[in-house]
Amino acid sequence: MPALIRGALAAVLFYCVSFGLAIAEPLTLKSGDTIDFIGNTVIERAQEYGHFETALSLAAGKDVTGLKFRNFGWSGDSVFGDARSYFGEPQEGRDRLQKAVTESSPAIVFVCYGSGAAMSTNQGWTNEASVAARSAAGDEASLALFSEGYDKLLDLIKAGGGEGLRDIVLVSPPPLENLGGVLPNQTENNRRLAKVRDAVKALAEKRGYRFVDLFGAMGGDQFDGQVTETPLTDNGLHYGDAGYRIITKNLIAGLDISLPDGLLTTDYSFEILREEKKKKNRLFFMRWRPANETYLFLFRKHEQGQNAKEIPMFDPLIAEQEKQIDGMRSAIFDKLQKR
């Protein structure tokens, strides 16, 4: 290799390392990895459909086994943790999230926030007194506050993940849809969402994290305000099964990985595995967010606290379901090899 080219490559590498820019390489999953999903509604609803983790587990390849996926999404949450707080300040929600991340010991974390910030600009989207006024001070102030809060949230996630955390992937929210009728026009919200996407991308570059632009990949930058002919959402905001299928396709492409040759997300074997993933997700949701938590662990535990001992009983059920999922993965790869 000529010295001039070697020098140029060295300069690029130095720039990337010095300024925290991630070098684009395919995401690598390893046997035994735990993968956490963190975010607001778009992440929480993903567990109901199972597309994310089914595709990721198959894209990991036949030799990668024992993968665990943990969905810590919380509808309506912000980067400040408001929705995760039951009765206290947003700090309570952040503490809850960090505890969950610490206990899961993830190797990879996917984080997706921003749609709420784009839609609530100028309305004050956190209850934390010290920052609430800033969030209502206009688009620029709100966007700066979002970036600042996101940066601190990532510090929290990184600290909770510990030394075993290899990768943090920042994912932009997907675009909103116009469905017409009595539902609101999302043109202005998408305009702001594009700016939020840009802020998340800048944050990923600053920290050297991976970034997946769902907003751009799904046509957000070309949004013209027309009514969507084939909706992917239930109400313009919340994606359904068809929507998560498209989101997952773009997520996989954005990570520079792919499903095994010959396998599509519509294949029967993929769908059967996805159903088992959904069963596991329901078990895990009941484990980490049990109904009547106030009665089990909080200030009304004197009434039903004796039942708290049943919550850890979900752990062997989840483990057994994951063992079954691993067996199904192997069967899928064996079938593909025989084609």
Q: H helices within 105-186, ranges in order?
A: 115-119, 129-135, 139-161
Residue 121 has pLDDT above 90, yes or no: no
CATH code matching the domain that covers 24-262, chosen among 3.40.50.1110, 3.20.20.70, 3.60.15.10, 3.40.30.10: 3.40.50.1110
Let me know the angle formed at the C-alpha of 245 by 240 and 248, rounded to the nearest 5 degrees.
120
Residue 301 has pLDDT above 90, yes or no: no
108-112 vs 210-212, strand pairing mode: unpaired
Residue 136 has pLDDT above 90, yes or no: no
Assign 290 a pLDDT band (cuts: 50, 70, 90).
Answer: confident
CA 277/CA 67 separation, integer angstroms:
12
CB 254 within 8 A of CB 212: yes
Task: Supply 234's token pair.
Answer: 């239930």
Lowest model confidence (mean pLDDT) among 38-42, 124-128, 168-172:
124-128
Give the whole-number percent of the chain exceeding pLDDT 90: 66
Residue 6 has pLDDT above 60, yes or no: no
- Write the CA distances from 132 to 155, 174, 230, integer angstroms: 21, 26, 38
What's residue 308's pLDDT? Answer: 72
CB atoms within 10 A of CB 33: 22
What's residue 265's pLDDT? Answer: 77
CB 70 within 8 A of CB 118: no
Assign 63 a pLDDT band (cuts: 50, 70, 90).
Answer: very high
The mean predicted confidence, pLDDT, of the chain is 87
Residue 3 has pLDDT above 50, yes or no: no
Domain ranges across the chain: 24-262
What's residue 297's pLDDT? Answer: 61
CA 127/CA 47 separation, integer angstroms:
27
- Write the CA distances from 187 to 114, 176, 178, 215, integer angstroms: 16, 8, 8, 13
Question: What's the length of the chain?
Answer: 339
pTM of the model: 0.89
Assign 141 a pLDDT band (cuts: 50, 70, 90).
Answer: confident
Instruction: Kindly state the average pLDDT of the residues 267-292.
Output: 93
Instruction: Kindly state the average pLDDT of the residues 173-194.
Output: 93
Q: Compute φ and ψ for 24, nearest 5 degrees.
A: -70, 110
Q: How far apart are the first and last CA of the chain?
A: 42
Instruction: Kindly state the average pLDDT of the residues 121-139.
Output: 59
Residue 135 has pLDDT above 80, yes or no: no
CA 191/CA 196 separation, integer angstroms:
9
Assign 137 a pLDDT band (cuts: 50, 70, 90).
Answer: low
- Write the CA distances from 285 to 70, 91, 135, integer angstroms: 9, 22, 31
Ramachandran bin of 260, using left for φ above 0, alpha for ψ from -120 to 50, beta for the remaining angles = beta
